[in-house]
Amino acid sequence: MQYDFIKGEILLFDKPAGWTSFDLVNKVKHLLKRKLGVKKIKVGHAGTLDPLASGLLIVCTGAATKRIDELQGMEKEYTGTFEIGATTPSFDRETDIDQRYPTDHITEELIHQSAHFFEKSFEQIPPIFSAIKVDGKRAYDYARENLELELKGRPVTIQTFNITRIEMPEVDIQVICSKGTYIRSLARDFGTELKSGAYMTQLRRTRIGQHHVDNALDVMAFAEFIKNTYTLPAESES
């Protein structure tokens, strides 16, 4: 396959857990600048994934960056695991457990009922440990400085919230949702609905619109391709 990164490409990557979305974008940008011999090239992503999450990250280059807003607005699908009976300040494994809750009353029927309760449109309050900007500052910066911050709810829609495995205290989930949905916040709200607590321990984005992670590139394999296999389009060769 021949790529023209200046004219614009939409690339699907399987982001590894432990990488930030910006880590991956910067890796792609660095590789392309060196290979193409340019000082600048537009590279951006269509929807941030948390560092602890893995899965589909759409990266656009060149003129294709104009489609980022369109791609960000597409329906998204996730799989993951919630830990029931405890909470953390970040709603995931980034921070330590701050409170534990009873779970003896939780049945499989209650778990399924609570999941279906969220299959609707509602106002979701984002995690304070998030990249949302408030007065020019990231929310996670307020959180790490132990500063008080009240985030406003944002409209989201959960089309599907399936429970795929129950082995208490772990519950596996599959969620299809709108732009702007935080699965970490869904874990918090799910725990509340169970009259207990919950936080997210694993998350993987499997789909954005018609784009599926099964068709995504491994970033290190892409690096090898750019360095050793990729050739410039004829009109770009010097």
pLDDT tens for residues 161-195? 999 999 999 999 999 999 999 999 999 999 999 99
Read out DSSP for 132-163? -EETTEEHHHHHHTT----PPPEEEEEEEEEE
* CA angle (223, 5, 204) in 5-degree steps: 55
- From the centroid of its chain, how far is CA 225? 26
Is 236's pLDDT higher than 60? no
80 close to 183: Cβ distance less than 8 angstroms? yes
The active-site residue, picked from 4, 14, 23, 50, is: 50
Whether 50 is a known active-site residue: answer yes
Delineate the domains of the chain, giving CATH numbers in brackets: 9-73+211-236 (3.30.70), 76-208 (3.30.2350.10)
- At 28 the pLDDT is 97
More confident residue, 150 or 107: 107
